[in-house]
Amino acid sequence: MIKKNNVFIVAEAGNNHEGDFSIAKKLIDKACESGADAIKFQTYDVDNFIDPKFIKSYKKFKKFSLSYEQFYKLSKYCKKKKIIFFSTPFDLKSAIFLNKIQKIFKISSGDNNFTDLIKLIARFNKHLIISTGLLDLNGLEDVYKIVKKIRGANLKLSFLHCVSSYPAPLEQLNLSNIRLIKEKFNDVNVGLSDHTIGTKAPLYAVLAGASIIEKHFTLDNKFSSFRDHALSLNPKNFKIMVDQIREAEKILGEKRKIILPLEKKNIISMRRSAYASRNLRKGQILKRNDIVYLRPGGGLNEEEVKKILGKMIKVKLNKTSSIKKIYFK
């Protein structure tokens, strides 16, 4: 499901629809136009997510919630629009529902220590993406072991480096952790779940080796006072980010060191080959100081010259004459 050769770019719509189904569909439309590979929402039963005594938070998430039927319709709409749909479950019941309609799961940083949820989703045996905010390396290793114990070699696991601050300051993003996680867990895909403002961090993350980018997405940064809109990218800026990442992919190219076709035309002009360092007589024995290596190439290289050192020269050679095997016996 996650592309092997390209960065997998996720538009994190989250709750930026604010409970309006029509806005959720518009987010899908704009994510498609912006070039996202996938769009992700958040699915929850608020009574299994927020303590009702936290009245403000409970009411907000209650208002923002969409029904399971609405998520089913959104998944079908994504299929029609040819964009991957998935949603982060925030409770076990929602995870079981989402297993019927999606092929990728995401666990948020807030729940990366919620072992019941991790174990449940691990048993679904679908690609699992886990954000790593609020964890140190030891905590991340604990998460890895939970999934590994259930899935064995067929891990299908990704970790997203994440700083759980909204917004996260660029100077505290520590993108070097992408390489650290890749080195520590060499059978895991690694990416970035980004909460910074702007498009710099995702681009730098790709240069640091990220294969997944998740970035918050909104129709309008001033849509409402809900925090996530301000730190999200609007469709115009999300498209800029996607274009930057796709350009970076081209520049990074493939992991294979070969002589490129466009280099081959320069091989002779840029390489050196053997020439006479001075006038050489017929019958003379060739010595190393009789040779100088000059551009252009096309003649004998150093290894080939070793095979004729000590041999007799059959013809007279002027200084800077190209050295050829046929001149020796």
pLDDT digits (tens, 9 = 90+) for 293-309: 999 999 999 999 999 99
User: What is the tens place of the pLDDT at every residue in 113-125?
Assistant: 999 999 999 999 9
**Residue 183: pLDDT band by 50, 70, 90 thresholds?**
very high
pLDDT of res. 274: 98
Whole-number Å distance between alpha carbons of 102 and 203: 28
Mean pLDDT of 285-298: 97
Interior CA angle at 216 toward 212 and 221, to 5°? 150
Burial class from Cβ neighbours inside 10 Å (0-12, 13-18, 19+) for residue 263 reads: exposed
| Contact by Cβ (8 Å): 246, 9 | no
Supply the pTM of this predicted model.
Answer: 0.91
Mean pLDDT of 264-292: 97
Give the residue from 193, 136, 205, 190 showing the smallest Cα distance to 168.
Answer: 193
User: What is the tens place of the pLDDT at every residue in 226-238?
Assistant: 999 999 999 999 9
pLDDT of res. 255: 87
Where are the alpha helices (H) located in 65-136, listed in sequence order? Answer: 68-81, 92-98, 115-124
Q: Which long-range contacts (CB under 8 A, 24 or more apart) does 147-151 make?
A: 147/118, 147/122, 150/119, 150/122, 150/123, 151/122, 151/125
pLDDT of res. 329: 85
Residue 3: pLDDT over 80: no
Whole-number Å distance between alpha carbons of 227 and 1: 31
